Amino acid sequence: SSAGGAHCFPDLRVGVFKEIVPLGIDPKIVSYKETGIHLSPQEFHREVEQYLSQASQGQNNTILLDCRNFYESKIGRFQGCLAPDIRKFSYFPSYVDENLELFKDKRVLMYCTGGIRCERGSAYLRSKAVCKEVYQLKGGIHKYLEEFPDGFYRGKLFVFDDRYAICSNEDIISACRYCGIMWDQYELCSSQHCRQLVLTCPSCRNKGLTACCPVCQEKELNVTTRASGQALKEECECTRIRPRVPIEPVLQRTLDAGK
């Protein structure tokens, strides 16, 4: 549980789904029963501390893996983590498949918001039988921050409700999309056809810079009316230029994110 109030959760919907999070893999093929080893926040904290210490000495037999989407890790993440530049969790299996050499014989410390995606993600990674060991943070970042508000996680924690983000420290690790000043408060892209989030500071918003990319900014200016109920195709420069599944360098990993 966390502070927020009813205004953050305006809808209550109950549904039955084959997957609690859309990994895109049949749960009968990759079962939640075959997950990684669960670590308590205290155990995970010690593991990350050891990982950062070893990495600073040039040892890299462990990967600290953020299995969330890029817009989540952009505003908050563990120091020294590998944060895949993927837009949807359903891309995670393809990311693993395309980067198997990266995970070969490695210890993987995996985390997500509340631990749910790790239940599926760690099971899929284990099914590839390339990692030495796979661990996951029980309760996710949320539980970790309850125990270690000033620990190794820096920035805000993205949440999927009207709050967008919650924080436990004062660090800002992201920047305004337009002017580059440090900024980490998301807004929806102002273009009607887009569903992406954008980091744009108050100064830039006052200048009318409220879209996620130049394509959306131009469409917002050109398209002022839409037929009621008309389906809008999501299309913008951000989606077009970003590789769907990034290929990570295998031999050169640094702690730039931690610095």
Q: Catalytic site residues?
A: 112
Reported as type and span, the H/E element at residue 107 is strand 107-111
CA quadruple 149, 152, 155, 161: dihedral sign: negative
Strand-pairing partners, residue 136, are 38, 110
Reported as type and span, the H/E element at residue 127 is helix 116-127
- Name residues whose C-beta falls within 8 Å of residue 39's C-beta, 6 or more positions apart in sequence: 47, 109, 135, 136, 137, 138
- Name residues whose C-beta falls within 8 Å of residue 70's C-beta, 6 or more positions apart in sequence: 83, 84, 85, 86, 87
